[in-house]
Amino acid sequence: MKFEKIPNISVDCVVFGYDTITKSLNVLVMKRYLESETGSEVLVDDYVLTGYHVYENETLDDSATRVLKELTGLTNQYKKQFKAFGDPDRLTNEKDLPWIKNEGFNLRTITIAYYFLLKTEEVDLKNSAHQKKWFPVKDLPELGFDHRHIILEAYEDLKIKCLAEPVIFELLPDKFTINEVQDLYQSILGIEFDNRNFRRKLINKKYIIAIDEKQVGVSKKPSQLYMFSKDIYKKIFQKNYLISI
């Protein structure tokens, strides 16, 4: 009983990884491939989110953490439960049926969807069992089930979240330049900011700390590195009750 899977409840994890080099916000997905018994026909060939059934004795948060760990080896990443998906037909697209038959899924499975924020470079894709791949959130491959929909809803939630809370720093290395932060905001939100205004705004925050270090190995003026202090942020944080409707 204790470690049994609940057959009709899963968690699905949208893993967002930012690649500072290519300036791309990516999503980690897993290859799904199935041939007919004779091997003459490819039945399923696309990607899916990583997810798994929730265990009987496990909280939803713990399930999501477990799935992320199995997928990436990482723990302690920023995690948010953002929505449950449970349409009766969410798993029953024609192209999903052979897969479901093969895997023995329950056709009416509700999934609790989480998203995680981390850095692409933190994940080692080589030494891993499944075939996993990063795709830019703006250029997703063909996805199984309702997973494109889930990713896009996660992305919408992230857009709103990053305007109100300093989650952006979860996607950046510990030491970053102001322009990297700006690039990331722009990449997530799809809009451009004035560099001088953006820079001023960030540098004025007490929790954005200039460190005594500069970029190395770049063939241009090396830029100042900063870090984000969560401690200071928490200390000086105060709810802003500005009504903007």
C-alpha torsion 149→154→159→162, nearest 10: 180
User: Scanning residues 146 to 185, which ones bind DNA (CB under 7 A)?
Assistant: 177-179
Reading the block at residue 196, the tokens are: 């001088």
Distance CA 175, CA 169 (A): 10
Q: Kindly report the backbone phi and psi dihedral angles of residue 7, in degrees, each rounded to the nearest multiple of 5, phi listed first.
A: -70, -25
For residue 21, the partner it binds in DNA, a copy of itself, none, with Cβ less than 5 to 8 A by kind, is none
Comparing CB distances to DNA, the nearer of 45 and 192 is 192
Q: Segment contacting a copy of itself (CB under 8 A): 21-29, 41-49, 83-91, 214-222?
A: 83-91
Distance CA 198, CA 186 (A): 11
Comparing CB distances to a copy of itself, the nearer of 39 and 190 is 190
Comparing CB distances to a copy of itself, the nearer of 42 and 163 is 163
Q: At what angle do helices 147-164 and 178-189 cross, to 10 degrees?
A: 130
Comparing CB distances to a copy of itself, the nearer of 216 and 245 is 245
Question: Looking at 110, 140, 227, 232, which residue binds a copy of itself (CB under 8 A)?
Answer: 110
- The residue among 140, 110, 125, 123 whose CA lies nearest residue 12 is 110
Contact residues: a copy of itself, CB under 8 A: 6, 8-9, 54, 56-60, 81, 83-88, 108, 110, 112, 160, 162-166, 168, 185, 189, 191, 201, 205, 240-245
